[in-house]
Structures are given as structure tokens and as C-alpha cells.
Amino acid sequence: MRARKQARARASEVVQPLHPMRALLRSCTPALLIALAACGGGPSDGLAVDLDKSNEDVLLRYYLGGYVGPGGGDPAEAGLMVEEGGLAVRPEAVPEPYRDALRDVNGDGTLDWDEFVAFVEATYARARGLPPTLDALRAEAPYAEGDSAWFVTEVEGSPMTTARRRIYVPVAALREGLAGYRAAGDRLLYPEGTVIVGEHREGERVLETTVKRRRADGFWDFAVYGADGRLAGATSTPPRPLRAPIQCTGCHLGRRLFDPEKTFPAPAPDGPHGPRAVVVDGAVRAAVEAHDLAMRFDEHAKRSDGVLGLYGTLYVARLLADREAGRLAPEDAALLEALGL
């Protein structure tokens, strides 16, 4: 990567001589860049960024938006991120508690992926105010087995773990997203503060817990809690550890499709570690098939809110199954009618 950057730099210098100020800045340390900016003599375009990723602008908006405020925000509007003339970060705009962690370690005048990851992993949990323990999380989002305020579903053979995933989604958030589905352009958007919890289980034993919490800016915070209930830097179950949030964004902000959600309601083919399935009862599966709900909502492929699960599809299927059984509440009938079902 460094060789590629150096080649690009040499090529650009052949076409046009390097501006004296830019030449000076390339020799500066991050601390000096910050000092220059604070004195009013710093560059307007900040520290150049080259993450060597296909969606660098989206990644920067996600990560840097988390430093704008409690609900996140637009890093360009806040002055953290520059897009004109190439992507850049303005170190002097990074909140002071986290600024020293933003370092051009190899001194090449560009922030690369490894340097950016080091900054995120050193500051993300604190900047986002992630609960340090599951007990603290439950004080914010009291998910519990058997609580009707939470819609619960399970997945076998998820690509992120060989353990069975039990997912908890707040019913109120699902209903709000579904109620606004048409107005949002046939997209299921969850309200700010929604917390989605995924337990990785071996029988009744919880091996670890993954969490998504929706920010006001439309992105999600990601967190992992170990078997001891404490915040961890990565998952620990096979087939491989996944660092949060760094390796969460690759799937949730990407476009790749995964089984078993990709194939549902048809049976998914076995994966490299065994069977894969969205675990639902026959009535729910029948409702999905009868009303073509998987295609209607197309949640997994749309990924309109960065969510991979079929939670809206399955919740609506449960309501349709209740209607078929003659036990649908009036407010549920109204929701189905608003969705044209």
C-alpha cells in the first residue's frame, strides 16, 4: 500500500510541482499539524486519507460521525471530514480527548487504514459511550427472554459464528419502522436509540453477546460483550474473531448477501460449519410464503438501515399467522392494513 501511495505521489509531482505549503505539511507531525491549524496557519484540507477501500467516504462518515455528538452527525458539516479535492480528516476538529490517538505513524503525510483503525479502536467505545457491561446495557435496553416487549428470533449457521444466534428486537421499534414503511419509500427504518441484541448460545449458555444501537445520524454503533458480561474488543466464538466495530461495518455497510437470510423462506444450503436456517415455526413460514413477504420487504438485500436480519418480515408474518388463527388485536389489524396486507 505504501509503495502505491509513493508511486502516486511521484506521478503527481511530475505533472505539477508540489505547493510549498503542502511540501512543508508533509514533513509535519500530527501534533504540529494540529498546532498550525490552531494558529490559523493550517491547511483547509487537513490530513489526507487513503484507506484503500472501495467505499471510503461512507466509512469515514460512519466512523467520524460518531465523534460529532451523542447521536452522531455529519462529520463534513462538523468540520472533521473534507471531501473536496480528496478525502481528508482535520485533526484539530477531532474532540480533544481523542485527538492524540489520530496519528500519521509512518510520517508519509497520509492516514492509511491501519493508522485509522488504531485511532478508532483506541477511542470508539469511549466516544460512543458504550455501556461497559451487559448489566449497564440492560439498564438502557432491558431485553429479557419471555418479555412481550421484545420480538425474538433465532438463526442457525450465521456467517459470523458457529453458535446459534438468538436476536432480540424491541417491538415498539419494529412497529414504528413498519408504520413509516411507505412514507420512507418502502424502507424499514428504525428509530433513534433502537437496540438490537444478538446472543451467541451453546444450548442455554450465552457465550457472548453482540449489540447494535441506532444513532440519530442513521448509522449504528456496534459492541461485543464476552461471557463475563464485560465489553470486549472482538467476538470469540468460531470460526474467527471479529473486531468491533471495524469488522462489523464490512457486512452491514456492504452489499454482499448471506445465507440463511439470502435464501429464506426456501431452505438454505449447508454452510462450511453445518446447517443454516432462520428458525421459525410452520405458521410463520407459511405466512411468509403465502404473502411473498421475503420479496415484498426484501430486507436483507435492501439493507436500507444497515440491518441484515429479516425482523420486519418475520414480525409481520407472525401478525398474519395470528390473523389466520383469529387472535389478531385491532392495533395489529390496523398496522397490516397500512402495509396493504
What digits encode the pLDDT tens for the residues 33-89? 443 333 433 344 699 999 999 889 999 999 999 999 999 999 999 999 999 889 999
**Whether residues 166 and 208 fall in one domain:** yes
According to DSSP, the β-strands at 205-214 and 277-279 are unpaired
Domain end marker among 127, 143, 166: 127
pLDDT of residue 248: 94
Least confident of 20-29, 74-83, 293-302, 305-314: 20-29
**Of 81, 112, 127, at which residue does a domain stop?**
127
Domain that holds residue 123: 2-127
Residue recorded with cell 448489566 = 135
Q: Do residues 154 and 272 both lie within one domain?
A: yes
Say if residue 282 is exposed, middle or buried (CB neighbours under 10 Å; 0-12, 13-18, 19+): exposed
- Number of domains composing the chain: 2
Residues 114 and 138 in one domain: no
Residues in the chain: 341
CA distance 232 to 239: 17
In this structure, the answer to whether residues 113 and 147 fall within a common structural domain is no
Examine the domain organization and report whether 111 and 27 are in the same domain. Answer: yes
In this structure, the answer to whether residues 108 and 6 fall within a common structural domain is yes
Q: What is the pTM of this model?
A: 0.86
Q: Tell me the sheet residues that pair with 143.
A: none
Q: Are residues 169 and 79 in the same domain?
A: no
pLDDT per residue as tens digits for the range 145-189:
899 999 999 999 999 999 999 999 999 999 999 999 999 999 999
Q: What is the pLDDT of residues 105-126, one digit of tens each?
A: 999 999 999 999 999 999 999 9
Q: Are residues 90 and 143 in the same domain?
A: no
